[in-house]
């Protein structure tokens, strides 16, 4: 585990980090008609190979199969959606959420995906009514193409994670956790671009330990904390379609800079083992990214008190059963 305090400017970090609970509470009320209040399940001590008491936040039961609609609907709540509709880049989950929102609002949606995006996730996008365009090998190349498309057509570009309204929407998940189980000793969240951990940290602040769990092959948060700001990293591996952003978002980093955040890097084998454990012990089928928090706990990387209560966010389940 890598405990790191970001060296960003204390004044700017403190100012930007304040008021997030109020923003998130307002977002939760705003998006309530569009999302599912997903359940928490607390497991017996020793479950899933963990030395801690585990609670699972089952966000894979969210509409479209991941937490992403929370941020999308809050981002769109006060936006003016043009007739040209919406456009984004996505490894799959954000695009599905945006396509679902476009479907609800009756506007077109285009989603640019990198080649790494699985056919299963592409089919999900199409099922929600999106026009899917493949561009580039990695997310950042698809993002650049989507932004050019926005300029050409006038469609509203919705970034997957780098916007304050998106973070506030994702933070509603943390608000629900506190309402459902109180404040746990730690919350472990998978990290890609940082939208989810930014929202979770915005809600909990320093009242609990927030752990960013990342694949060794997608270390965006770990690299940003080490460098004092987001830096480009090479990404790949089995969770790259969900967590394979080239660098952490600037907005999430500003939120995280106001708090002490720790990271845990896990191997591909650890992720697959955690994914299988969730199925074999709990009959929960999740995508690799959602198994990363459990992989971090099972690795022994977290050094918490005996009997600590740890909440794991299972962020998505958009994976083909045959692949699983």
Beta strand 131-134 pairing with 156-157: unpaired
- Please give the pLDDT value at position 8: 38
How many other C-beta atoms lie within 10 A of the C-beta of residue 280? 10
- Please give the pLDDT value at position 321: 78
CA distances from 204 to 9, 179, 181, 208, 226 (A): 21, 12, 13, 6, 23
Q: Mean per-residue pLDDT for 203-218?
A: 96
- % residues pLDDT > 90 (the chain): 85
Q: Mean per-residue pLDDT for 286-313?
A: 95
Q: Mean per-residue pLDDT for 33-53?
A: 95
pLDDT at 181 over 90: yes
Q: Give the sign of the dihedral formed by CA 88, CA 94, CA 95, CA 98.
A: negative
324: pLDDT confidence band, cut at 50, 70 and 90? low
14-28, 106-120, 171-185: segment of lowest average pLDDT: 14-28
Q: Which CATH number fits the domain 2-66+163-314, given the four candidates 3.20.20.70, 3.60.15.10, 3.30.300.30, 3.40.50.1100?
A: 3.40.50.1100
Do 68-157 and 2-66+163-314 have the same topology in CATH? yes
**DSSP three-state, residue 42:** strand
The rounded distance, in Å, linking the Cα atoms of 90 and 113 is 5
pLDDT at 84 over 60: yes
Give this prediction's pTM.
0.92
Supply the CATH classification number for the domain 68-157: 3.40.50.1100
Residue spans per domain, the chain: 2-66+163-314, 68-157
Residues with Cβ within 8 Å of 125's Cβ and at least 6 positions away in sequence, in order, are 90, 92, 95, 96, 99, 111, 113, 132
């Amino acid at each position: 585990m890598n405990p790191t305090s970001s060296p960003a400017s204390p004044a700017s970090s403190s100012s930007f980090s304040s008021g997030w609970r109020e923003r998130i509470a307002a977002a939760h009320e705003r998006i309530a008609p569009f999302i599912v209040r997903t359940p928490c399940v607390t497991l017996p001590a020793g479950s899933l190979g963990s030395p801690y008491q585990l609670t699972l936040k089952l966000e894979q039961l969210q509409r479209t199969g991941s937490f992403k609609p929370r941020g999308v609907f809050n981002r769109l709540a006060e936006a003016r959606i043009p007739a040209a509709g919406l456009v984004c880049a996505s490894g799959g989950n954000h695009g599905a959420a945006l396509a679902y929102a476009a479907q609800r609002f009756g506007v077109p949606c285009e989603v640019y995906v990198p080649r790494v995006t699985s056919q299963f996730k592409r089919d999900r996008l199409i099922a929600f009514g999106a026009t899917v365009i493949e561009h580039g090998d990695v997310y950042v190349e698809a993002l650049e193409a989507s932004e050019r498309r926005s300029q050409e057509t006038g469609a509203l570009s919705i970034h997957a994670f780098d916007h304050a309204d998106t973070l506030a929407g994702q933070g509603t998940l943390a608000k629900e956790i506190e309402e459902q189980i109180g404040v746990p000793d730690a919350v472990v969240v998978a990290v890609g671009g940082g939208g989810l951990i930014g929202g979770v940290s915005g809600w909990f602040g320093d009242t609990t330990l927030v752990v960013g769990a990342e694949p060794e092959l997608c270390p965006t948060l770990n690299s940003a904390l080490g460098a004092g700001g987001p830096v480009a990293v090479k990404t790949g591996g089995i969770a790259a379609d969900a967590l394979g952003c080239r660098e952490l978002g600037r907005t999430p980093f500003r939120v995280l800079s106001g708090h002490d955040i720790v990271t845990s890097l896990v191997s591909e084998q650890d992720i697959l083992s955690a994914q299988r454990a969730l199925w074999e012990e709990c009959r929960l089928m999740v995508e690799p990214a959602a198994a990363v928090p459990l992989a971090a706990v099972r690795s022994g990387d977290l050094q918490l008190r005996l009997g600590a209560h740890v909440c794991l966010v299972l962020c998505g389940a958009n994976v083909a059963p045959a692949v699983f």
